Chains A and B, each alone.
Chain A
Amino acid sequence: MLELRDVTKVVGRETHIRGVSMALERGSLNVLLGPTRSGKTSLMRLMAGLDRPASGDILMDGKSVVGVPVQKRNVAMVYQQFINYPTLTVYENIASPLRVAGRDKATIEAEVRKAAALLRLEPYLERTPLELSGGQQQRTALARALVKGADLVLLDEPLANLDYKLREELRAELPKIFAESGTIFVYATTEPSEALLLGGNTATLSEGRVTQYGPTPEVFRNPVDLVTARTFSDPPLNMLKVTKRGDRFHGPQDTAIAAPASAMALADGTYVLGFRPHHLYLDPPGPQAVALKARVAVTEITGSESFVHLDHGGERWVALAHGVRSIEVDEDLTVYLDPQRLFVFGSDWLLAAAPALRSAA
């Protein structure tokens, strides 16, 4: 088990990591989710032992590893860039950690063949990385991490430089590849959908802080605060500032939304309503729907879906609609909210009420 206790990292005057505490179990898959510069890489470097925390403690199986150099820890890391030894063949690349560890020839041969089979690199063992496609280069790097049999495998946005197709393919294989090795598996990504696809646990990061850590679907459905909800939503979570009076939320432009059962008990005051783009409807989703007026700013058509960027009051919203819609920019549009699908955040940004309907949250 890898345990971080109130770890802080300061570089110059900048604080990169602020008081992070988390415990990663053996055999678990942990996703670090956050935008660029939120501290994912810094946190990984601390976990690996490449950097020393300014304060706090890092424990591996109960023993502090702060100050233990990275070579002495059993760590493997894969990067966004495809890092391999450029002059060595794929076989020698995969064998390199075993050679450093001084394994005998037969073991090396067996291990390399096994990893190559798992990552489907067998036909390319005699080539050098530069002769391979990006996907194969990254598979080579992953195979090197795999054969090392590391206690901790850190993947820093490993699929970010691959094209869409290769990314999907490799993403589906990754959890299986490392599942049987029983290592602690940490995966950094900027994409919420990647975290959901990988499953496991997710830690959402924002400005060097871990805002929430828990099972991925749990974090997605019950974000503890607005920052977590926004981090874990792509396109970003839509927001509406409202005032609760009695059983209604009152917003700008005379909007009145009936408070859902989950939010009924909340005290009167100011709140922020949050709703995901696919819960901002262009057609009324049911009799309980609330109609709002908004002005179209931009429309993006991806084929099966349309993203409609809308202005409502001072807020910019994104609605995700199925199919290709012909919507003119600057058109005034009636959009609909389902009160059952609203996140309610208090004025302190903490979650006050989660959507009553969780099945499709």
Chain B
Amino acid sequence: MEKPWNNKAWFLVLPVIVLVAFSAIIPLMTVVNYSVQDTFGNNVFFWAGTEWFEETLQSERFWAALGRNLVFSFIILAIEVPLGIAVALAMPRKGIGVPVCLVLMALPLLIPWNVVGTIWQVFGRIDIGLLGRVLADFGIYYNYTQNPLHAWITVIVMDVWHWTSLVVLLCYAGLVSIPDAYYQAARIDGASRWAVFRYIQLPKLKHVLLIAVLLRFMDSFMIYTEPFVVTGGGPGNTTTFLSIDLVKMAIGQFDLGPAAAMSIIYFLIILALSYVFYTVMTQTGRDRETGR
């Protein structure tokens, strides 16, 4: 059997290949290139092998930053996902309230990261910030530049303010797609508000929640701009996340090799954790669906 071959199809996928090559593969390979070599400038490179990787994995600084990242992402998910579901449930289903709420919800998402950082930096300042001054008047000495706890609270509140909307909008989209007949059937059954949520709304939200958790995890794990603007990684190293550390190392100290090795490890961690999240969430969903 002779199969007709037609290679014209390659021309159709070529634009995508070029785009992916320039946006992902080439930069990534450059980083790989740096991570296995040493340089003293002037484009002179020496083979370093796995030296930078070993150094990174053995450095306390790296593990401390990674720990901060994990704690940060965990807190963010623990706050934003339940809060997002709650707000979505409270939003109106019809009438003039719908567009009003949607616009209000979308507003924080439209603000650039560094602006969000700046807003909160000014807002929280003890000398001129509205929040800082008011708290100080109440006797709470709120200072994110000196108190690590205050710095963390600021960064977390800022992220919750900025990104809960995303979870809300995703959940809202999931909620409005539930046919009215379900609610009606539940009413006729005499089901309680909790039963409606537990047995109708939550199962129907499963898929959007998976997306919301994945997006918020990946995004929060890559947090950079806001703490950079507000705290600059301080006080001390208390808000120095992996991304901030990475930039310090690459741009500040110009240690390109270790920075490249760290980027790759950082990238692999996000990839692996996202994969685990995805597998676990789809797997438990399937188990429940099949009843096994």
Seen from chain A, the residues whose Cβ lies within 8 Å of a Cβ on chain B are 48, 50, 70-71, 75-77, 79, 81, 83, 85-89, 96-97, 100-101, 126-128, 130-131, 144
Q: Which residue of B lies closest to A82 (CB)?
A: B181
Could you tell me if A89 and B189 are in contact, using CB atoms closer than 8 angstroms?
A: no
The verdict on A131 contacting B200 (CB below 8 Å), with A71-B187, A79-B181 known, is: no
Looking at the assembled complex, report how far the CB atom of B184 sits from the nearest CB atom of chain A, in whole angstroms.
6
Known: A79-B185, A81-B179, A131-B291. A86 touches B204 (CB 8 A): yes
Most buried by B among A75, A86, A100, A131: A86
> CB of B199 within 8 A of chain A?
yes
CA distance A130 to B179 in the complex (A): 16
Contact residues in A for B199 (Cβ distance below 8 Å): 85-88
The answer on a CB contact under 8 Å between B189 and A100 is yes
Q: How far is the CA of A279 from the CA of B288 in the complex (A)?
A: 56
Q: A69 — nearest CB in chain B belongs to which residue? A: B187
B190 touches A71 (CB 8 A): yes
Residue on B with the closest CB to A96? Answer: B189
* Complex-state Cα separation, A86 to B185, whole angstroms: 13
Q: List 7 A-B contacts (CB under 8 A).
A: A50-B188, A71-B190, A75-B188, A79-B181, A83-B181, A88-B199, A130-B289
Contact status A89-B291, CB under 8 Å: yes
Interface size on B, residues (CB 8 A): 18
| Cα A131 to Cα B200 with chains together (Å) | 17
B187 and A70 contacting across the interface, CB-CB below 8 Å: yes
CB-CB < 8 A to A89: which residues of B? 291
Alpha-carbon gap, A144 to B190, bound state (A): 13
Do the beta carbons of B291 and A128 come within 8 Å of each other?
A: yes
Query: Shortest CB–CB separation between residue B100 and chain A, in angstroms?
Result: 21
Answer whether A77 and B290 are a contact pair too, CB < 8 Å, given A85-B199, A100-B189.
no
Are A70 and B188 CB-contacts (below 8 A) given A83-B181, A86-B203, A87-B199?
Answer: yes
Q: B188, A128: Cβ atoms under 8 Å?
A: no
User: Residue B104 at the A interface, CB < 8 A?
Assistant: no
Q: Which of A87, A97, A101 contacts B203 (CB 8 A)?
A: A87
Q: Which residues of A contact B289 (CB under 8 A)?
A: 87, 128, 130-131
* Contact present for B184 and A50 (CB under 8 Å): yes
Q: Chain B contacts of A77 at CB under 8 A?
A: 184-185, 188
> Which chain B residues in 170-192 approach chain A with CB under 8 Å?
179, 181-182, 184-185, 187-191
Sample of 7 further A-B pairs with CB below 8 A, known A86-B204, A87-B289: A71-B190, A75-B188, A86-B200, A97-B190, A100-B189, A131-B289, A131-B291
Question: In the complex, A85 Cα to B181 Cα: how many Å?
Answer: 12
Q: Out of B187, B190, B191, B290, which one reaches A50, CB within 8 Å?
A: B187
